[in-house]
Chains A and B, each alone.
Chain A
Amino acid sequence: MSPVKQFTCIVCPRGCLLTVEITEPAADAVSGAPNYLDAVRVVGAACGRGVVYGRQEATAPLRSLTTTLRTSGADRPRLPVRSSADLPLERLLDACIALDTVVAQAPLRCGDVVMADLLGLGIDMLASDDLAVCPANGASHG
Chain B
Amino acid sequence: MKRETIYDVIVLGAGPAGLAAAVAATDSGSSVLVVEREERPGGILKQCIHDGFGLVRYKEKLTGPEYARRDIAAAESRGLYLLAETFVSRVEKGQDGFALTCVNRDGLHDLRCRSLVLATGCRERTDRQVFIHGDRPAGVYTAGLAQAMVNLHGLLPGRTAAILGSGDIGLIMARRLTLEGVAVAGVFEVKAEVSGLTRNVQQCVRDFGIPLGLSTTVSRVFGRQRVEAVELSRVDERLRPLPGSASLVDCDCLILSVGLIPENEIAVSLGVPLDPATRGPQVDQNMHSLIDGVFACGNAVHVNDLVDYVSESAETAGRAAAAWARGLAVGQPTPRRLQPVKTQGPLLYAVPQFVDTASPVDTICYFRSNRTLASGARLAVGPAAKFAATGPATTAENFVERKFEVLRPPEMERFVLPAARSAGLTGALQLALKPEGEA
A: which residues have CB within 8 A of B? 7-10, 12-15, 17, 46, 61, 63-68, 70, 76-78, 80, 82, 89, 92-93, 96-97, 110, 128-130, 141-142
Contacts and interface: CB of A to CB of B under 8 A. Distances in A.
Given A67-B179, A128-B66, A141-B154, A8 B201 contact: yes
Interface in B46-61: 49-52, 55, 61
A64 B181 CA distance: 18
Contacts of B152: 76-78
Contacts, number: 81
A110 B154 CA distance: 19
Nearest to A129: B65
B199 A10 contact: yes
Contacts of A142: 154
B154 A82 contact: no
Given A15-B197, A64-B51, A129-B69, 11 more contacts: A8-B202, A13-B305, A66-B49, A78-B153, A82-B51, A82-B63, A82-B66, A92-B179, A97-B181, A110-B66, A129-B66
Contacts of A93: 178-179
A63 B179 contact: no
A46 B405 contact: yes
A89 B207 CA distance: 8
Contact of A80 (B61, B151, B306): B151
A130 B69 contact: yes
Interface in B240-299: none
B198 A15 contact: yes
Contacts of A68: 49, 150-151, 154
Interface string B155-186: 00000000000000000000000111100000
Contacts of A66: 49-51, 63
27 contacts: A7-B202, A8-B198, A10-B203, A12-B199, A13-B197, A14-B411, A17-B198, A46-B405, A65-B179, A66-B49, A67-B180, A68-B150, A68-B151, A70-B154, A76-B152, A77-B153, A78-B153, A80-B49, A82-B63, A89-B207, A110-B66, A110-B69, A128-B49, A128-B63, A128-B65, A128-B66, A129-B65
Q: Which of A7, A92, A110, A129 has the most C-beta atoms of chain B within 10 angstroms of its own C-beta? A: A129
Contacts of B49: 66-68, 80, 128
B377 to A, nearest CB: 15
Interface of B: 49-52, 55, 61, 63-66, 69, 150-154, 178-181, 197-199, 201-203, 207, 305-306, 405, 411
Contacts of B50: 66
Given A63-B207, A68-B49, A9 B199 contact: yes
A63 B201 CA distance: 14
Contacts of B202: 7-8, 10, 15
Nearest to B49: A80
B52 A13 contact: yes
A68 B149 CA distance: 12
The 9 closest A-B pairs by CB, nearest first: A15-B198, A129-B65, A80-B49, A10-B199, A8-B202, A128-B63, A15-B199, A78-B154, A96-B179
A63 B200 CA distance: 12
B206 to A, nearest CB: 8
B352 to A, nearest CB: 22
B405 to A, nearest CB: 7
B430 to A, nearest CB: 27
Contacts of B178: 93
Contacts of A130: 69
Q: Which of A8, A13, A67, A97 has the most C-beta atoms of chain B within 10 angstroms of its own C-beta? A: A13
A53 to B, nearest CB: 11
Contacts of B180: 67, 96
Q: Which of B63, B152, B207, B305 has the most C-beta atoms of chain A within 10 angstroms of its own C-beta? A: B63
A131 B179 CA distance: 23
B133 to A, nearest CB: 35
Nearest to B52: A13
B43 to A, nearest CB: 14
A34 to B, nearest CB: 30
A92 B50 CA distance: 14
A142 to B, nearest CB: 8
Nearest to B405: A46
B219 to A, nearest CB: 30
Q: Which of B154, B203, B207 has the most C-beta atoms of chain A within 10 angstroms of its own C-beta? A: B154
Nearest to A80: B49
Contacts of A14: 411
A21 B150 CA distance: 40
Contacts of A65: 179
Nearest to A14: B411
Nearest to A7: B202
Given A8-B198, A66-B51, A96-B179, A80 B65 contact: yes
